[in-house]
Amino acid sequence: METMRVARLFGVNDIRLRDEPAPIPRADESLVRVTAVGICGSDVHWFTRGGIGDARLDKPLILGHEFAGVIESGNLRGTRVAVEPLIACGKCEPCLEGNPNLCLAHRFAGHGADDGALREWIAWRSDCLFPLPDALNDEDGAMLEPLGVALHAIDLAHLRPGMTIGVYGCGSIGLLLIQVARISGAARVFATDPLAHRRDAARAFGAEVFPADGDEARAILAATDQRGVDVAFEIAGENTALATAIATAKFGGCVIWAGIPEDDRAMFSAATTRRKGLTIKVVRRMKNTYPRAIDLVTRGLVDVRSLVTHRFPLEQTREAFAVAARREGIKVVVSG
């Protein structure tokens, strides 16, 4: 049996390179040679804490759900693709209601019982593979997953031209959300992050930037003449960012909550939320976004390429996670 190299997580800070049997695709799957894998903040949670939310590492797991590759089997052999990491059942109530991202019986690459993409090959359902145009490289393909999350967050917000928004957390999803908001007609975008290089990136994409130093809510309210923002996006997974979102959302406004807290707990002022009559919507991954994401990047309307700041081969996956955990740069990519 042919073998492949994999990077498997065995425990906190414990990623080991191993040789394991290569996958054999089923009838509805294609064999994909993995060429680029982005390290997500949720992957870092697995690496540094041994879990995320209420999910814990109960057996060694291959991480990686932001990825692209080349089909190595079937009629589309040789086709470069971006990969939707979620396989929905298509039969449960959420799926039948048009919400595959909420599927009750889904599979997700790099979570639970399903190994992810930090390996040489993966067998994945063929209808979750999206061909990449020549204008997009493999790293661009991997970045379509976080762009999809940003698109879904904007969809939930029902953003209209002329609105003012706040983006609290300027990792890759936050920076992509700023770009999508601008092309969707947002008149002003405020952004916060504790890291200067991420604030600089947000500023380059047109945001009005404030450090996350405890005074950001006051500063944003002052900049909006105390009105606040129409939509506040929490993208950091921090209670402080969620508190800022609630403090700066206007009366009758909306908070879009996309961050995942490390300890699976969120705290915010119930009195403020109630008094303002806020609507809170929670982002669960993405929903049918790949065609739009590909089109936006191909047309040059969204820049994903400049967000990739660090690159490592599969053999240096442990080092790649260490860099991501230190929040150096923006997006760390492991290349096949």
pLDDT at 292 over 80: yes
List of residues 6+ apart from 186 with CB closer than 8 A: 159, 161, 163, 164, 165
pLDDT at 1 over 80: no
Q: What is the band of 156 on the pLDDT scale with cuts at 50, 70, 90?
A: very high
Per-residue pLDDT, 219: 98
What integer is the mean pLDDT of 264-285? Answer: 94
Q: What is the pLDDT of residues 130-154, one digit of tens each?
A: 999 999 999 999 999 999 999 999 9
List of residues 6+ apart from 225 with CB closer than 8 A: none
* Contact between residue 125 and residue 108 where contact means Cβ atoms under 8 Å apart: no
Q: What is the band of 74 on the pLDDT scale with cuts at 50, 70, 90?
A: confident
Mean pLDDT of the chain: 97
What integer is the mean pLDDT of 91-114? Answer: 96
Query: What topology is assigned to 148-282 in CATH?
Result: Rossmann fold (3.40.50)
Q: What is the pLDDT of residues 163-219, one digit of tens each?
A: 999 999 999 999 999 999 999 999 999 999 999 999 999 999 999 999 999 999 999
Compute the C-alpha angle 55/60/65, nearest 5°: 65
Domain ranges of the chain: 3-131+304-335, 148-282
What does the DSSP assignment read for 181-249? HHHTT-SEEEEEES-HHHHHHHHHTT-EEEE-SS-HHHHHHHHTTT--EEEEEE-S--HHHHHHHHHHE
Lowest-confidence pick of 124-133, 148-157, 260-269: 260-269
**Rg of the chain (C-alpha set):** 20
- Give the whole-number percent of the chain exceeding pLDDT 70: 100
CATH of the domain spanning 3-131+304-335: 3.90.180.10
Q: What is the pLDDT of residues 39-69, one digit of tens each?
A: 999 999 999 999 988 889 999 999 999 999 9
- Top-confidence residue, 133 or 269: 133
